[in-house]
Amino acid sequence: MTTIEIAILLSGVLVLLVLIGVRVAFATAMIGITGMFIFYMTEKGMDPGRAMLVTLKLSGQIPHSKTASHVLGLIPVFILIGYLAYFAGLTKAIFEAAKRWVGWLPGGMGVATIFSTAGFAAVSGASVATSAVFARIAIPEMLALGYDKRFAAGVVAAGGTLASLIPPSAILVIYAIITEGSVGKLLMAGFIPGAVSAVIYAVMIVGMAKRNPKLGPPVTGYSWSERFASLPAAAPILFVVAIIMYCIYGGWGTPTEAGALGAFVVLCMALYRGMRWKDLSGALIESAKLTTMIFTMIWGVLIFVRYLGFADLPNTFAAFIAGLHQPAILTLLIILGVYVILGMFMDAIGMLILTLPVTYPAVIALNGGIDITREASSLGMSGEECGIWFGIIVVKMAELCLITPPIGLNCFVVAGVRPDISVQDVFRGASPFFVADVVTVGVLIAFPGIVLWLPNLL
């Protein structure tokens, strides 16, 4: 067998391991080590003992060399901001404000949940944390008003996915690390698409509630003075977002430094609001758990990616994609269709870090090359613009993984927080939002300027 054939075979074995339940971190590391071992024996002519020694030495060096970077400090910082904001009471404040301002709409509490999760997502980089927080805050209020429990749970699960797109986003940081793109530009690029996604969710909720009023009645009775009175308590979230984005956009600091400053500001707010040591230690422990999980996955995938580089599979696949005699947009849609299928069986982060080493070069090849130029190309963008645009598209596709059965993590989190609602009911409630996400992806593909306008200002 050729090196490429072995790489394709091992990649198939990797997908099989993940599907049968092996953790992505361990599966990718095992396949990467196996592949490098075979490569050194077949291509370099080493004996088995020396091949294994070199493979293990390289496998130990790769995770450290790639992750010993201040850029990765963004991930724990963004996650910590979200947990601190919850313990500071900022989530309840923003939900109350949203309820007073948009609750009068059909399904208004659902719309309020979407907008408040979008606001919380702007200070939290973790979708799972967002879903868990609002399962405790929003679902009890919706059920008390007579909302359908499936609908209420689905809204929270779908709203939590917005944290994957709206910065600060841990997934966007991971994408930037794997593709060696600009973290700052990717974070800026997520703002407008995230807002568009939230608006599409809200429009769909209003349409569903108009068609079937039993899903959720509107909330009325708030005066204009009560609405304006709810804004000061919710303002700190906007203040934190402004600090982070101004530091990045204004050039005052790196994204990591901006995130650290944001975390410090939220910590001060939490302490001022009376956060106790138990709450602080809980936020730190939960942040450490989630960060460890993400870093472990990155380490395993980096070993696998190094093997793919030895086998030259990404470049081979990119050349194959570029040589197809069909429109570039059709090939892109096929790639996105594969993401939909993978999303049914893999978690969002695992799917991205597993596939990007192959799909990213292919999409860049579709765009006419990797040179950062303004020349006309198949997708009509420069190489850098294409990388940013594809990053937002693929992260939006990753959001589908969080609400699609059987792996949809957000749905399991909501069901775990609310034992009275089965996971099957959560999946049924979230299913309409799959359609909304497809619409959002279509809009971003048709109008790439939505993604590129803000980063092009940098």
3-state secondary structure string, the chain? CCHHHHHHHHHHHHHHHHHCCCCHHHHHHHHHHHHHHHHHHHCCCCCHHHHHHHHHHHHHHHHHHHHCCHHHHHHHHHHHHHHHHHHCCHHHHHHHHHHHHHCCCCCHHHHHHHHHHHHHHCCCCCHHHHHHHHHHHHHHHHHHCCCCHHHHHHHHHHHHHHHHCCCCCHHHHHHHHHHCCCHHHHHHHCHHHHHHHHHHHHHHHHHHHHHCHHHCCCCCCCCHHHHHHCHHHHHHHHHHHHHHHHHHHCCCCCHHHHHHHHHHHHHHHHHHCCCCHHHHHHHHHHHHHHHHHHHHHHHHHHHHHHHHHHHCHHHHHHHHHHCCCCCHHHHHHHHHHHHHHHHCCCCHHHHHHHHHHHHHHHHHHHCCCCCCCCCCCCCCCCHHHHHHHHHHHHHHHHHHHCCCCCCCHHHHHHHHHCCCCCHHHHHHHHHHHHHHHHHHHHHHHHCCHHHHHHHHHC
Handedness of CA 111, 116, 117, 122 (dihedral sign): positive
pLDDT of residue 154: 94
Task: Domain of residue 253: give its range.
Answer: 71-291
Look up residue 355 and give its amino acid: T
Domain contains 19: no
Contact between 125 and 81 (Cβ < 8 Å)? yes
pLDDT of residue 35: 92
Domain contains 24: no
pLDDT of residue 209: 93
Tokens of 416: 């775990």
What is the C-alpha separation between 183 and 168, in angstroms, rounded?
10
Domain contains 303: no
- pLDDT, tens digit, for every residue of 376-391? 344 567 778 888 999 9
Angle at 115 between CA 114 and CA 121, to 5 degrees: 90
Domain contains 99: yes
Specify the residue for token string 């208004």.
Answer: 108
- Is residue 47 exposed (0-12), middle (13-18) or buried (19+ Cβ within 10 Å)? exposed
For the chain, the domain total comes to 1
How many CB atoms are located within 10 Å of the residue 310 CB?
18
* Nearest in space to 59 (alpha carbons), one of 29, 38, 80: 29
pLDDT of residue 277: 85
Global pTM value: 0.81
- pLDDT, tens digit, for every residue of 320-344? 776 777 777 888 888 888 888 777 7
Specify the residue for token string 């072995």.
Answer: 6
Crossing angle (nearest 10°) for helices 328-343 and 423-446: 170
- Is residue 130 exposed (0-12), middle (13-18) or buried (19+ Cβ within 10 Å)? buried
* Nearest in space to 24 (alpha carbons), one of 280, 440, 407: 407
Contact between 299 and 63 (Cβ < 8 Å)? yes
Crossing angle (nearest 10°) for helices 383-401 and 170-179: 140
The tens place of each residue's pLDDT in the chain, 458 residues long, gives: 788 889 889 988 987 887 787 877 888 889 999 999 999 998 888 888 999 999 998 888 877 776 666 667 777 887 788 778 877 778 888 899 999 999 999 999 999 999 999 988 887 767 877 888 898 889 999 999 999 999 999 999 999 999 888 877 878 888 888 887 888 888 889 989 999 999 999 999 999 999 999 898 998 888 889 999 988 888 888 888 888 878 877 777 777 788 888 888 888 888 887 788 888 888 888 788 877 877 887 788 778 878 888 888 777 877 777 677 777 788 888 888 888 877 776 677 777 877 888 888 888 877 654 333 333 344 567 778 888 999 999 999 888 878 887 667 788 889 888 888 988 899 999 999 999 999 999 999 888 889 999 888 76
Domain contains 229: yes
pLDDT of residue 436: 93
Tokens of 292: 């460890």
